[in-house]
Amino acid sequence: MRTDKKDAWSILDTLPVGVCIIDERLTVRFWNTCLEIWTGRSRTDITGHSLHTYYPHLADFPYTSRIDSLFHGGPPCFFSSQLHQSIIPSIRPDGNPRVHTTTIMPYTSSPGDLKMAIIILEDVTDLVLQIKTVRSLQQKTKAAQDALSRANKKLNLLSSITRHDLLNQVMGIKGYTDLLIEEVDQDTEMSRYIHKVSDIADVIQKEITFTKDYQDMGINNPVWHTVSATVEKVALLFTDFGLEVSVRTGSLEIFADPLLEKVFYNLIDNSVRHGGSVNRITVSFEETGEEGHLIYEDDGWGIPQDIKSRIFERGYGKNTGLGLFLIREVLDITGLTITENGTPGQGARFEILLPKGTYRNG
């Protein structure tokens, strides 16, 4: 491994999460300080060796199939050690296994280099233990329900503090990479590596920011939303794009999570980012029998037929792969579902199915 690449990657040592970079054969190319502390394995000992050597369970199908897919153009992988054996197991000082959430994302280096991936492990042991405590309280009396409310607030506070600290660390990395970019010649290999590290920091920042929206889902009770007012409020955030937004829903109200604004924000953002030269967006409503259909359409390029079934998966997409996933999760809270059934080349068409009792005229 080139020394300048090592130096660029060493910036990842400042993160309070485990970070490992591997190539297609699962050979370790980088092993950050956090993983050294968690696993007791030094960077010197493990770099250049296959993860299989130390963690033979990674040869099992659930891991090989998803990691192989990632190296051949598939979406990022997400593993929870509550559902699978941890990718890189470790023991906490109290002797108990550490609970991880693990994200594996493709990492494109310089042209001609090996394909690589970055593994990010976050220790959520304390959070999981507190969640288990909270769930046990749900079976008790009103006094226990009051304790549950307090525990939830503490969990949210813990998540907020952790997220704040992580974002501060990532911003520090961004600051250092910006300084390094100014100091090195732009057409050098070192400059390209520094830009790659900056790109990784951007991805991590977006992942952490996404957890805020995901945490907020379901905390507050669903409410009735006037669709026209919600869409028009969100559309104001996109005035610089010169979009013509037409809302044809009358006084329609739908029963949904308070994060419904995020649904329309991400739909419009998706049109702007991926729809090509989108000029017009239309939101309309149709009723068939006892079901309602809220329809969002744009006049962009549309969505290719072969990816329609995957666009709502977490991690799938050209940006963070989280926007459409968040839409699906927010709507699901009150039993609403969303599909994309537009004609490729004629614009995207998202249809939200509204079961009986989830919509009304105000």
Please tell me the CATH code under which domain 223-361 is placed.
Answer: 3.30.565.10
Per-residue pLDDT of the chain (362 residues; tens, 9 = 90+): 455 555 667 788 888 899 999 998 999 999 999 999 999 999 999 999 999 999 999 988 888 888 889 888 888 888 887 777 888 999 999 999 998 888 898 887 655 566 889 999 999 888 888 888 877 766 666 665 565 566 555 555 556 556 556 666 777 777 778 777 777 777 778 877 877 777 777 667 666 665 555 556 556 788 999 999 999 999 998 888 889 999 999 999 999 988 898 899 889 988 998 888 899 999 999 999 889 999 999 999 999 888 888 888 876 666 555 678 888 888 998 899 999 999 998 999 999 999 999 999 97
In whole angstroms, what is the distance from residue 216 CA to residue 322 CA?
15
pTM of the model: 0.47
In whole angstroms, what is the distance from residue 197 CA to residue 147 CA?
43
Query: Does residue 64 contact residue 84 with C-beta atoms inside 8 Å?
Result: no
Sequence-separated (6 or more) residues with CB below 8 Å from residue 17? 34, 120, 121, 122, 123, 166
In whole angstroms, what is the distance from residue 310 CA to residue 326 CA?
14
* pLDDT of res. 221: 80
Buried b (16+ CB within 10 A) or exposed e, 257-276: bbbbbbbbbbbbbbbbebbe
* Sign of the dihedral defined by the CA atoms of residues 38, 41, 42, 48, in that order: negative
Query: Does residue 245 contact residue 271 with C-beta atoms inside 8 Å?
Result: no
Domain range list for the chain: 3-216, 223-361
* pLDDT of res. 326: 81
* pLDDT of res. 186: 75
* pLDDT of res. 40: 94
* pLDDT of res. 180: 79
Residue located via tokens 């190539």: 23
* Length of the chain as a residue count: 362
3-state secondary structure of 284: strand
In whole angstroms, what is the distance from residue 257 CA to residue 329 CA?
10
Residue located via tokens 């307090």: 150
* pLDDT of res. 77: 86
* Among 5, 227, 17, residue whose Cα is nearest residue 121: 17
Query: Does residue 298 contact residue 347 with C-beta atoms inside 8 Å?
Result: yes
* pLDDT of res. 36: 95
Sequence-separated (6 or more) residues with CB below 8 Å from residue 187? none
* Among 155, 117, 105, 115, residue whose Cα is nearest residue 133: 155
* Sign of the dihedral defined by the CA atoms of residues 35, 39, 44, 49, in that order: negative
CATH top-level class for 3-216?
alpha beta
Query: Does residue 153 contact residue 130 with C-beta atoms inside 8 Å?
Result: no
Buried b (16+ CB within 10 A) or exposed e, 95-128: eeebbbbbbbbbbebeeeeeebbbbbbbbbeebb
What's the token pair of residue 99? 């609970």
Single-letter residue type at 61: F
* pLDDT of res. 320: 52
Give the DSSP letter string of 233-274.
Answer: HHHGGGGGGT-EEEEE-TTEEEEE-TTHHHHHHHHHHHHHHH
